[in-house]
Chain A
Amino acid sequence: MKSIVGYRTPGPGTQPNHLHPAYVSSAKRSPTQPLVQIPYTLSEVTGPTFGAESVSPAMHDLTHQHKGEPLGERIVVSGRVLDENGRSLPNTLVEIWQANAAGRYQHEWDQHNAPLDPNFTGCGQVVTDAEGCYRFVTIRPGEYPWRNHVNAWRPAHIHFSLFGPAFSTRLVTQMYFPGDALLPFDPIFNCTADEAARNRLISIFDWETTIPATALGYRFDIILRGREATPMEGQ
């Protein structure tokens, strides 16, 4: 028998509750019973692993997946994936998806009256390198209306999905852009009580990764849960 080292519990208010009434569709899809607390076992501290071979190297560049180039402002989105203990997380799968420059998704359910772009699918994947770094080239997504409330608009955002080293570290989130006027009004961005935690979802404009005459750089570091310092009691 081996000791199991669990994962740290997120700080109060730094993660959303399932039910957030301002986000209307959470009402019928959130559990009403309390979550059942369980100890970490081998099942929670293991998880699917993805090596660099799992993705095509071409999938880091969303602007070269078709015959022509997509419309919109080319950007570089990059950053590091770390855990709460400040350790780099290499070999972590990062999946992204987003709307095109006009705020329209390449999806049959998106009926927003804005043009599709035949040169943009809006899908990318990379695996982090030995330092936990990732980098995408894409276009800045447009804002778009949605039906949550009257005159509701989503701020520009890119969806991110990460696995990390274990079932317990799985994270799906969204990256926003600095200075977006819609952020204070967005119930999804504002679902988290802790203001500093919310603001960490906003990428940082970055000269270092800006390519002269080609693309602005935005930096977005992602922190996955870190290990507890000691094995859990009773393991």
Chain B
Amino acid sequence: MSLRSTTSQTVGPFFKIGLNWLYRDNLIGEGVSGERVTVQGRVIDGDGAGVPDAVIEIWQANAHGKYAHPEDWQDQLVEPGFTGFGRVPTDSQGGFRFTTIKPGAVPGPQGKQQAPHLMISILMRGLLKRLTTRMYFPEDPRNGADPILNLVPSTRRSTLIATSPPGKSGMLEWNVMLQGANETVFFDVGL
């Protein structure tokens, strides 16, 4: 049997009614290991204005590079306090913020490891289907050999890598630019 996937439609401006029960800006439950990081940034539209009605979803592996999912075959520890899922809305200025742990490296194509990264979905009014991107971590020596980053034109790679503001330990900054000279790289994962 072959069916066609249902057409995507925008999340619209009023998604809070249906999605806020699962807002989760702190992904770290009890007993979770790994380096704590708080990621903050803004979602910016083509006019340079913050997007006040976007919602960001996060999916990531734990500090051992293990996804809490039955298809992760690795012999690594799943931590009960860490599902790897987060969901945060933007505020009136387009700002968002969440706290999590830096994931471990995960397997990639052809036996290569992927550098630690967060999988990001972005939904908002005006988007008929979600945008997907990744956030990588600053100054991680594994970024240079990451098989996905290396598919991105080198001039645009920096849009996927968070920055560390000076003097703010454990804080990362990462903005989502929908358009413009520093437009964030978005990936085609089919839908």
Which A residues are closer than 8 A to B by beta carbons?
A: 1-2, 4, 6-11, 14-18, 20, 23, 25-33, 35-49, 82-86, 95-99, 105-107, 109-110, 121-125, 159, 161, 166-168, 170-174, 188-189, 191-192, 196-198, 200-201, 222-226, 234-235
User: Contacts A15-B191, A109-B14 known; A41 to B2 CB distance under 8 Å?
Assistant: no
3 nearest A-B pairs in the assembled complex, by CB-CB distance: A97-B18, A86-B1, A25-B126
A167–B156 CA distance with the chains assembled, in angstroms? 23
A29 partner, pick from B5, B61, B127, B147, beta carbons under 8 A: B127
Min CB distance A139 to B, Å, is: 14
Q: How far is the CB of A132 from chain B (nearest CB, A)?
A: 12
A29, B10: Cα distance in complex, Å: 12
B-side interface size class: 35 or more
Which listed residue, B13, B114, B130, touches A41 by the CB 8 Å rule? Answer: B114
Proximity string of chain B (91-134) to chain A, C-beta cutoff 8 Å, 1 when within and 0 when not: 00000000000000011111100100101010111111111101
Q: Establish whether residues B7 and A173, one from each chain, have CB atoms under 8 Å apart when the complex forms.
A: yes
Since A23-B126, A85-B1, A172-B123 are in contact, a sample of 9 more A-B pairs with Cβ atoms closer than 8 Å, ordered by chain A residue number, is A28-B47, A29-B45, A29-B51, A36-B151, A122-B18, A198-B7, A201-B7, A223-B5, A234-B109
When the two chains form the complex, which single residue of A20, A31, A46, A96 contacts B69, counting CB atoms closer than 8 Å? Answer: A46
A122 and B17 contacting across the interface, CB-CB below 8 Å: yes
Name B178's closest neighbour in chain A (CB-CB). Answer: A29
The docked-state distance in angstroms from the alpha carbon of A30 to that of B114 is 28
* Pairwise interchain contact B6-A42, C-beta atoms closer than 8 A: no
Contact B7 A15 (CB under 8 A): yes
Task: Report whether over half of chain A's contact residues are helix, strand or loop; otherwise say mixed.
Answer: loop
Q: Is the interface of B mostly helix, strand, loop or mixed?
A: loop
- B residues near A (Cβ < 8 Å) are 1-19, 21-22, 45-47, 51, 53, 57, 59, 61, 67-73, 83-85, 106-111, 114, 117, 119, 121, 123-132, 134, 147-148, 151-152, 156, 178-179, 183-191
- Shortest distance in angstroms between A143's beta carbon and chain B's nearest beta carbon? 14
CB-defined contacts of B191 to chain A, threshold 8 Å? 10, 15, 168, 170-171, 225
A82 CA to B10 CA, complexed, in Å = 21
Check B3–A84 contact: CB distance below 8 A.
yes
Q: How far in angstroms is the closest Cβ of chain B from A206?
A: 18
B17 touches A41 (CB 8 A): no
Contacts of A124 in B (CB 8 A): 18
Given the known interface contacts A29-B51, A30-B178, the answer about A159 and B12 at a Cβ–Cβ threshold of 8 Å is: yes
List chain A residues, Cβ under 8 A from B189.
7, 38, 40, 44, 167-168
Q: Which residues from chain B contact A41 at a C-beta distance below 8 Å?
A: 106-109, 114, 147-148
A146 to chain B, nearest CB (A): 9
Residues of A near B51 (CB, < 8 A) are 29
Complex contact B18–A191 (CB within 8 A): no
Contact B114 A43 (CB under 8 A): yes
| CB neighbours of A99 from chain B (8 A) | 14
Chain A residues whose C-beta falls within 8 Å of the C-beta of B72 in the assembled complex: 42, 46
